[in-house]
A and B are shown apart, each in its own frame.
Chain A
C-alpha cells in the first residue's frame, strides 16, 4: 500500500519568514496530493492540492511543488503570519478515489511574532 513520510515534524519560524514542509510517497499510482491544515481542536481543512499532471500550483502565499520522478512534494508558505501556526498534513491518493487517502504524520508549524 501507499506510505507517506513527512518532514520535519516540528518547524518554528519568525513572522515574515518562509516555511517549507516536505513529503515523500511510495506508490507511483498516486496522482493526487492535497495539503490539510488542522488548528488545535479543529477539523483538518484543505488548503491546496495538486494533481500529477502539473509540477507546481500557487494560491497567494501558499504553493505546492511536485516531483513525480523522485516521488516527493512540498508545501511552501511565504510571508508567514502567526495565524499560519497549526499542524499541516500532506496526503496522497489516486484522484479517482481521494476518499481513501494516506496521510503523513503532520508538521507542527509555529510562527513567532
Chain B
C-alpha cells in the first residue's frame, strides 16, 4: 500500500503570494492532520480534519486554511505568504478506531521557501 503522499515536494514563492499544498492519506485513513516544521524545531500542529470536518486548529493566523474532500484527501492553503512561513509542511493520516485516533503516519512533506 502507498503511504501518505504529499505534493509538491518543494516550492518557492515570494512574499504576498498564495500556496496550496496537497495530501493523500493512506487508504482507509479518515483523519488528516497538518503540521508545520521549522528548521531545528518539532512539528507544530496546524489543523486536523476528520470525516471532512475540522476537528482542531492550532495557533496559526487566518491566512492558513484547509479542507478535506470526500475521498479524505486534503489541501492546506496559505495566503499572503510571509518569510516566516518558510518551513516543511507535514501531512499525517491516521486510522480512527472507535473514535480514537491511533498512530500518525507522516508524508515526506512539502518544503516551502518564501523569498
Contact = CB atoms under 8 A, between A and B. Distances in A.
B102 interface: yes
Contact of B42 (A42, A46, A104): A104
By Cβ-Cβ distance, the 3 closest A-B pairs, closest first, are A103-B42, A99-B33, A99-B48
Contacts of B108: 42-43
A100 B42 contact: no
Interface of A: 1, 4, 6, 34, 36, 42-46, 49, 89, 91, 95-106
A100 B104 contact: no
Contacts of B56: 97, 99-100
Interface on chain A toward B: helix, strand, loop, or mixed SS? mixed
B103 A100 contact: no
B43 A89 contact: yes
Contacts of B103: 34, 46, 49, 98
B33 A106 contact: no
29 contacts: A34-B103, A42-B108, A43-B107, A43-B109, A44-B90, A46-B103, A49-B103, A89-B42, A91-B42, A95-B101, A96-B99, A97-B48, A98-B102, A98-B104, A99-B32, A99-B50, A99-B56, A99-B94, A99-B104, A100-B45, A100-B55, A100-B58, A101-B33, A101-B104, A103-B35, A104-B42, A105-B40, A105-B41, A106-B40
A49 B102 CA distance: 10
A26 B100 CA distance: 22
A106 B48 contact: no
A101 B45 contact: yes
A99 B92 contact: yes
Nearest to A89: B42
